[in-house]
Amino acid sequence: MMTNDILITIRRSVKCTFCAAFLLSSFPSGVLARPVFQKGMCLAHVHREGQGYGSSASYEELKKLQALGVEWVSLTPFGYQERVDTPGVSGYPGRPGSTQWFSDYDHTLLDAGILQAMKDGHALGMHVMLKPHIWVSYRAIQEGDWTGTIAMRSEQTWKEWFQSYTAFILHYAVLASKGKAEIFVVGVELGKTLSREQEWRELIRQIRGVYRGQLTYAAGWEEFQTVPFWDALDYVGVNAYFPLKVSSLSPAEQEIIQAWGPHRRTLETISRTTGRPVIFTEAGYRSLQGTLSRPWQWRELDTSHRVSDENVQARAYSALLKVFWDEPWWFGVYWWKWTTAEHAATRDADRTDFYPVNKPAESVIRHWFHDPSPR
């Protein structure tokens, strides 16, 4: 009689063979031949002179990530939009414009710095994902809006918005091509725009005209099943801040693993129906009790005064990796987040934030990312 371990091994082998063949046969022509497993980290720009992308401080942080076992980094340039129902993405080098934050654009976040960060990552043997993101004003955020609620009120303003967004995203697609970024993200958590399928498909067509690497879209956990254009991309990208139903504010790791069950099944289904591998374009947890119920919640907007708990953050990291590491349709994660300047992630005020730096979660990353890639 076969033991359970042998049966599990056989099942995984058959599952891997079927799923890999299915995924590879479904890729659109003209893209890389096969998906690549990604041990990733989101490297966030520090908006201070000499501490952001391309700086010597940023290079030192990249070296730390390399030592941690990180093989992929995502870089996030920003465009800015004042209100969610008003077209106009500006405040970046390709389109200066007065915003709440800048009179023209952020002079700490220049194309030259992003190119240097890509060059630095490649020099260290790492790969790069470029993930441009829209930021709405704090006034809009305080009114309950965010990137995911961007939506226009008329056909004319939709047309104007897509013209503006196309200029923004093509600016960075050209930059990604110039910097030889291996993956480019066509949009981040723009759920209310997804009904405009034809505009998105035209945008993706234009991106492929200037950029020859792999493409994904970073869908919110609540929207990834509604994205109508996964077939035009190379990966299903998910910002995996799924709320996990657990019985306490600081549950055991096994309970966290079990709580992932329904989400894991839904993610497997989307991979099978689209013929695309899944990557977590972001995933992360704050180091405080209760982080699993609302893992997306920023420290700045959290008024609950919950208790710091670095161990539950580490257990959440470990549980996610145990759930997905051996799934043949899952091709990696980018942890949110690490910053381009050390002190920005180690202040006392940030000890309950997402950063894994100098916390038990950092050891979890090191343990898993130094293992051979499963695919």
Output the average pLDDT for the chain. 89
**Cβ contact 326:8 at 8 Å:** no
Q: Look at 133-137, 171-175, 248-252, 302-306 and tell me which has the smallest mean pLDDT.
A: 302-306
- Per DSSP, the three-state class of 326 is coil
**Cβ contact 73:126 at 8 Å:** yes
Instruction: Please tell me the class of the 4-369 domain.
Output: alpha beta
Closest CA to 200 of 228, 236, 219: 228
Q: Evaluate if residue 232 carries a pLDDT over 90.
A: yes
Q: Look at 86-100, 150-164, 190-204, 350-364 and tell me which has the smallest mean pLDDT.
A: 86-100
How high is the pLDDT of residue 326?
Answer: 97
What is the phi/psi pair of residue 317, to 5°?
-60, -50
How many Cβ atoms from other residues are within 10 Å of residue 153's Cβ?
10
How high is the pLDDT of residue 15?
Answer: 47
How high is the pLDDT of residue 14?
Answer: 42
Q: Evaluate if residue 146 carries a pLDDT over 70.
A: yes
Mean pLDDT of 13-42: 61
pLDDT digits over 173-207, tens only?
999 999 999 999 999 999 999 999 999 999 999 99
Domain ranges in the chain are 4-369
Largest CA distance in the chain: 73
Going by pLDDT thresholds of 50, 70 and 90, the confidence category of residue 91 is: confident
How high is the pLDDT of residue 349?
Answer: 56
Going by pLDDT thresholds of 50, 70 and 90, the confidence category of residue 350 is: low
What the block records as the tokens of 323 is 């759930």
What's the DSSP call for residue 311? H
